[in-house]
Each structure stands twice: as structure tokens, then as C-alpha cells.
Amino acid sequence: MSQKVDWAKFAEEQEKALPKKISQINIQSQETNGKDSEDSPEQFNLAEASLLRKVIRKGLIDSKNDIEIQRQNPNSPLYSVKTFEALNLNPNLLKGVYDMGFNAPSKIQETALPTLLANPPQNLIAQSQSGTGKTAAFVLAMLSRVDTTKKYPQVLCLSPTYELAIQTGEVAAHMAKFCSEIEMKYAVRGEEVSRGTHLTEHIIIGTPGKVLDWALKFRVFDLKKLTVFVLDEADVMIATQGHQDQCIRIHKNLSPTCQMMFFSATYDQQIMEFAEVIVPDPITIRLKREEESLDNIQQYYVRCAGPQEKYNAVTNIYGTVGVGQAIIFCHTRRTANWLAEKMTKEGHAVAVLTGDLTVEQRINVLDRFRSGQEKVLITTNVLSRGIDVEQVTIVVNFDLPVDMEGKADCDTYLHRIGRTGRFGKHGIAINLVDSDEAMNICQTIEKHFNRKIRYLNAEDSDEIEKIGS
């Protein structure tokens, strides 16, 4: 970007250009080689789900869960704030925060922001689910650490994909709306620099491969001069082939005094081991997530002779139970599209979300479903995790989830039916069983979770009415 960027204008332009940019995004579904893709089981994609969570989240989750804090150095001070004013921010930056609609810090921000803005700088690992305010927290810290009198990159934020980097950049643009002196550059595909040039922007937001090229091959900026290094979506980053090595190569070239900020939606052992490699003496903040539990979910199975009986069961249940909204999971795109076509013909307000839609189309589908314009969402495993719609009261497994070997996929089952029974509410899960093999899968899932999956006669309206009461 040129000198003295008008951030307010830039943010406005980004907002207008977003549909066009999204339509150009090409996220590949993981499909089985050698088979017709419409009949292949669609696999859950980490980077894609992360992008969709960020784009469709209209506000912060009001989490009531506890924050867990760990620190390797017991002398590290810890503070908490209840207002943004308490952070002593640049007044124009504070104005930008309020302009974005943030009235008070979220739970993760209350503890993370004082740590991120403390002097001397503290290294931080922050882990909490999407929608809790992580991005706004580290973007605010990034903007606060910039010294505008120095005309070289001081802050680097890495994201695993082009799309996620653009999302972070747009949050930064909005937040820095009234700070025209802060300059930013994307280091992503499509952005090129000439050898021999030197970047003057303060903040670089990009992907690992492009950043490595610019820093180590073209040497257009000096990694050792960075004062802040942010690793966003770390759980996605280390699950993406090659990214982990690239991140470590970048890290090796940073100054020992560079502040590290490590953000992740999950915190399994692999991620923590990776964090320990690149973040020295961190303070770790974990916001315990809304657990996906079967405790609030009534589970049933329905015996069906084939696809038509499955369809009859779905329409009987949906027509009888007083549900808010429903998600129906299918194994393949072909089944999802067939079911959607039949339900639409019968007058049901149905949306379909599968891997053959563009990202723009997927976002539009999810927005319409969240706003209640469609009551039924038919989807494949692309939506099995992470998208929380509070009004969903019933989940139907039109096809039970299986792994690549055809065995019961208990993990995906939990994530699928976990789309209901959220936020302390009660939910219903219906499993449609059309063969002895499917019955064995259902029984395996029942044993795995030690939760009874009860038989339901989908032709008995009196019995169906009882499950909704």
C-alpha cells in the first residue's frame, strides 16, 4: 500500500470488494481419487471450516466458561481489564475498536490484552474457540506495537491460507480506520515485490511460503527487525503439510526479543509441543470451550428399507416435531442434492451446503440459514464441526458417518450431532438405518459413547410427538 493510507476508505473498499474476492477463492475438497466426486464421501477440511467460522460469525459468543491460565515464569505479572479504556490505547485506535461495535472486552480479551500490551513484552499462547474474540485481540496488539516513525516491517502475522490472511487484514483495516499513519501489506499469492526493493509498511499479514520468499530469497524485509510475530490458526497451520517447517524456518530468523503471539482454536498435545518449540516462556490462556456433549441430546434410530423410506421418515419427523431448525447430514453430494430437490418440491424451505459450491455461495447459504430464511440445512461432512447455530434443535444422520474403511466414525458422529444441544439447550438426533451394516455402525456408536440410542417408529405420529416434548 502507498504512503499515508486512508484506512477508513480502505476498509470501505474491502467490504465492497469482499463478494468479488470470495468468488475467486478456490478451496479444494478432499475427494477420493478415481471416483465420481458427487458419489465420493466429502471430508472435513480444517482451513475451510476455519474460514467459514470467521466469515459468518456475526458477533462474539458470550462464553460463561472459565479461563485457565498457565505460566512458566511465576514472576510474570497478570492483569485483567473490564474496559478498553483501561488499556491506555492510542485514542484513534480506541475509536476504531468502538467503531467496530466492541463495547467491552470479551472473556479471552480481558486477560490476553493486558498481557499482550505489557512492557516488557510477554509471549502468549491463547486458545479458544472461534467467535470468542481472538482475532480482535491480537490485531489490537499488533496495531498498538507499531512505531510509525520507523519505515520498515515491525509486525508479522502468519495465516495458513490466502483467505484467512485476507480476513485478518480486513479486521486490521477496520480497527485502524482512524490511524492513517499505520501501513500494512499482504504477503499472499498475487502480491509481488521486486528484488532490491525494501518494504516500508509497518505490518505484514501473509502466508508462510510467500513470507519466506520475500524475507529470505528476495530480502525485501528483515525478519530480525520484527518486534511482534503472530501465528494465527495454529491448529490449522501445523495440520497443513509444509507449513510447520516453514514457520520454524521463519522463527529461526527472528530476534530473541521478538514478542510471540500464538493463537489456536484447539490445544491438543501436538499443538502444545509445536508451541513449545517456537514460543519461549509463554503465558498460556485457555478459554474452556462449550463442550460437545451428548448429555443434552436425545438419540434415536429409525429402521428404513431404502432411500425413499428414509425420505418419508425425515418428512414425517420434521412435519410432526415442533423444531426450530434442522441439519441433515448425508454421505455424498448426490444424496444431499437428491434429498434437497425432493424436499423443495414438497414446499420445505431447504438449503444445501456441499463441497461443489464456491465459498461465496457457502457463505450465502450459511447466512440465510442462520437468519432463519431456510429451516432445513442439508449438508455433508464439510459442516460437521465448528459451525454453531443456536436455533438448531434437530440433527438427522440421513447416512451414518463412516471412515474411509467403512467403519463407524464416532468422532464425526459426536461433531455432527453436537450441532444441536448447544449452549445448554436440549436437542434431538435421529439416525436413519437402512441395512444390517448400518445397524452395526449405530450399535458401535452406542457402545462407544455408552449412551442409549432408542428405537423410533417414524410412521407413528404419536410416538414422534413425544420426542419433541
CB 280 within 8 A of CB 229: no
Q: Which residue has the higher pLDDT, 179 or 31?
A: 179
Tell me: pLDDT of 245 over 80: yes
Q: Taking the domains of the chain in order of start, what are their residue ranges?
A: 44-287, 297-467
Q: According to the model, what pLDDT value does residue 439 have? A: 97
What is the average per-residue pLDDT within 158-168?
84
Residue 288 exposed, middle or buried by CB count within 10 Å (0-12, 13-18, 19+)? middle
Cα angle value 458/326/306 (rounded, 5°): 40
At residue 331, what is the residue type? H
Q: According to the model, what pLDDT value does residue 434 have? A: 95
Which of 279-293, 337-351, 403-417, 422-436 has the largest mean confidence?
337-351
**pLDDT band per the 50, 70, 90 thresholds, residue 260:** very high
Q: How many residues does the chain have?
A: 469
Percent of the chain with pLDDT over 70: 74
For residue range 109-129, list pLDDT tens digits in order. 888 899 999 999 999 998 876
CB 161 within 8 A of CB 207: yes
**pLDDT band per the 50, 70, 90 thresholds, residue 226:** very high
User: Does the global pTM surpass 0.85?
Assistant: no
Tell me: pLDDT of 33 over 50: no
d(CA 97, CA 93): 6
Q: According to the model, what pLDDT value does residue 36 have? A: 44
Tell me: pLDDT of 424 over 90: no
Cα angle value 197/198/202 (rounded, 5°): 145
CB 379 within 8 A of CB 336: yes
What is the average per-residue pLDDT within 129-142?
84
What is the average per-residue pLDDT within 240-250?
82
Strand residue runs (E) in 226-275: 228-231, 259-264
Tell me: pLDDT of 70 over 90: no
CB 333 within 8 A of CB 402: no
Domain 44-287 and domain 297-467, same fold? Reply is yes
Which of 41-50, 259-268, 340-349 has the largest mean confidence?
340-349
What is the average per-residue pLDDT within 187-207?
93
Q: According to the model, what pLDDT value does residue 264 have? A: 81
CB 228 within 8 A of CB 156: yes
**pLDDT band per the 50, 70, 90 thresholds, residue 287:** low
Strands ordered across the beta sheet of 297-303: 350-353, 376-379, 325-329, 392-397, 427-433, 297-303, 454-455
Cα angle value 404/405/407 (rounded, 5°): 105
**pLDDT band per the 50, 70, 90 thresholds, residue 267:** low
CATH architecture of 297-467: 3-Layer(aba) Sandwich (3.40)
Categorise residue 242: left if φ over 0, alpha if ψ from -120 to 50, beta otherwise.
left
Task: Return the closest-CA partner of residue 66 out of 27, 103, 25, 108.
Answer: 108
CB 173 within 8 A of CB 10: yes
Which of 45-49, 219-223, 243-247, 368-372 has the largest mean confidence?
219-223
Block residue for cell numbers 485483567: 80
Q: What is the CATH code of the structural domain delimited by 44-287?
A: 3.40.50.300
d(CA 129, CA 78): 22
Q: Which residue has the higher pLDDT, 235 or 191?
A: 191
Rounded to whole angstroms, the maximal C-alpha distance in the chain is 77
Task: Return the closest-CA partner of residue 176 out of 214, 206, 205, 215.
Answer: 205
Tell me: pLDDT of 239 over 90: no
For residue 261, give the C-alpha cell. Answer: 503471539
| Average pLDDT score over the chain | 80
